[in-house]
Structure 1
Amino acid sequence: MVRLALFISTLALASSFTAGDLVRRVEKSAPAASAEPDCQDYLLISARGTDEKQGPSFVFIDAIKETLSTVPNGAEVDVVYPATWDMQYQIGSDWIKDFLSKRVEKCPDEEYALLGYSQGAMVASGAIDSYKPDDAVGQKIKAVVMFGNPMHVSGRPGNAVDKDLRLVSDASGVATNDDAAVRKYSSEGIVLDVCLQDDYVCNKGHSKDPMAHGSYGADKGVQDLASRFLISKLSK
């Protein structure tokens, strides 16, 4: 985990101008973290990447907007966790589990999609580790979308493949972890794990572009892929 933190820190320094500029531009239009919404048909639960400010990750802004505008009666909430370089992602995973345990009791008809970018993808993976697709809470999770996942597993069901978008399935992340619960959700068609070919964080053996890890949010094809997946899983 120390190696992962050091690598991502180095990557951030190498890509500080463009990635930082992207974050600043999005933050101006991104909604601030808000109070817990009333019961909905569904919630998008978003876990941001390392060093992003509290709120929705900049790489999911367009996909979130498209999903909420297409599928009615939904809302978005942001995972509360440090998102710092020491990779305390389990704090975010525990936050999701606590949130869902209370939320399912309060809103028994509500469904959920987990969104995670970079360290936030680890947050999402750590959260569903406690569930099964057919248990009381686990069956409410209808979609999991991850970008730049450090735990990306080569060839796992749910890995996005698209030559035109330069998305690869046969990639291993810098902290690859084939968790049994995540694989179960993947096998059920619930997971979309998106890895750009040149993103070293999710494809450690083939990095060519140090900027790739921060480019998911500006890639319309990737945003459309994510929103189509979410819409298909959350439409009733």
Structure 2
Amino acid sequence: MFSTLTIHQAAIVFGAVVSFTALVHGLPADASNGYISDRSAVVAESHSLNPRIDIPPALAGFPSGPLNEFLRLISTLPEGAAALDAVGLILTPLQQGLADAVGIDTTRDDLAQNAACADVTVVFARGTTEPGNVGLVTGPPFYDALKEQLGSKSLAFQGVEYPATFAGFNKNGTDGVPSMTGFINQALTDCPDTKLVMSGYSQGALVLRSTANSLPADTMAKVNSVVTFGDPGNPDAITGAEGKTLIICHENDAVCKGGFITVDHLTYADNATTAAQFVVQKAGA
């Protein structure tokens, strides 16, 4: 979900994730207190920050106590890769806790579990630090929208298995290429009549792009549609996906322009129906 960040920017990132999830999914304000990670697993010691008075409006709905606690933790982390790794250790369980609280499934394993062939099959790569294999802020809403738009048609949805670390973002998502490639080949071999969709959010879009670059042209020709959200590779074309690609990038999403995370990068649930309609139209379903 995130590109390389400074300590201060990382603080804003995790706060935005929590605030956005709480606001969109209706998590009670005091419920988030239960998701503060054990600090001893991240840093040996920390010190108090003065209460923040400059919380951006986008974070105003998040309880100030937990927000200050997380900011205090992040302020004590070392600079560089270790700091970003520690941010990930906080963000992933936090998001999974939020998902559990509101009944969001962050894992979809239809291909891994050899489910029956479906009319439409989606292989989806989540963003950096997101939990499960389809994440929290984009994958689940996209799944729900597809189920609604497909009506009586069947859907298989498979998340890409990869670490989704900050380091992986800087490698253009190549950590996810083996898994995405394997699931694509499985779907095309086991279910040749399915309409296959490649999709990814944030770093997951980089996974998709790197996979498309490595797949044979005849394999990409069998992919029915391609959808990316918050795509760091925007506006470059995706190899082998000409005429069947939808790249969704918000105007103020800096990640789509090679920059840092903004709140606009966390709101692609708003575009889930548009993406699902594109998939259904391409599939002729």
Residue of structure 2 aligned with 1:138, choices 220, 233, 237: 220
The equivalent of 2:149 in structure 1 is 70
Q: 2:118 aligns with which of 40, 43, 49?
A: 40
Aligned-pair CA distance for 1:5: 4.2
In the TM superposition, what is the alpha-carbon distance from 1:11 to its structure 2 partner? 4.5
Alignment-derived partner of residue 263 in structure 2: 211
Structure 1, 99-108 or 191-200: larger mean CA deviation: 99-108
CA distance in 1, matches of 2:278, 2:10: 29
Which consecutive unaligned segments of at least 5 residues does structure 2 have? 22-94
Aligned partners of 1:9, 1:49: CA distance in 2, in Å? 19
Counterpart CA distance in 1 for 2:103 and 2:6 is 26
**1:139 Cα offset (Å):** 2.7
- Structure 1 stretches of 5 or more lacking a match? 154-177
Contact 1:5 1:86 in 2 (8 A): no
Which of 152, 157, 162 matches 1:81?
162
Q: TM-score, normalised by structure 2?
A: 0.61
Matches within 5 A, 1:1-236: 5-7=3-5, 11-21=9-19, 22=21, 23=95, 25-27=98-100, 28-31=102-105, 32-34=107-109, 35-57=113-135, 58-71=137-150, 72-87=153-168, 89-131=173-215, 135=218, 137-153=219-235, 178=236, 182-185=238-241, 187-188=242-243, 190-204=244-258, 210-217=262-269, 219=270, 222-236=271-285
Report SS of the residue matched to 1:116.
strand
- Shift, 1:59, TM fit: 1.3
| Runs of 4+ more than 4 Å apart | 8-12, 23-27
Structure 1 or 2: more helix by fraction: 2
Aligned residue identity for 1:129: N
TM-score between both structures, scaled by the size of structure 1: 0.73
Is the partner of 1:15 in helix, strand or coil? helix
Taking the aligned partners of 1:213 and 1:9, their CA distance within structure 2 comes to 19
Distance of aligned partners of 1:26 and 1:140 in 2 relative to their CA distance in 1, 3 Å threshold: farther
Q: Distance in 2 between matches of 1:201 and 1:86?
A: 16
Separation in 2 of the partners of 1:235 and 1:74?
Answer: 14
Decide whether the 8 Å contact of 1:11 with 1:210 is kept in 2: no
Q: 1:123 to 1:44 in 2, by over 3 A?
A: same
2:74 aligns with none
* CA displacement at 1:99 relative to structure 2: 2.0
Take 1:55 and 1:183, find their aligned partners in 2: how far apart are those partners? 24
1:42-67 Cα offsets, whole Å, 9 max, x none, are: 21111100000123232132232121
**Cα distance between partner residues in 1 of 2:119 and 2:190:** 13
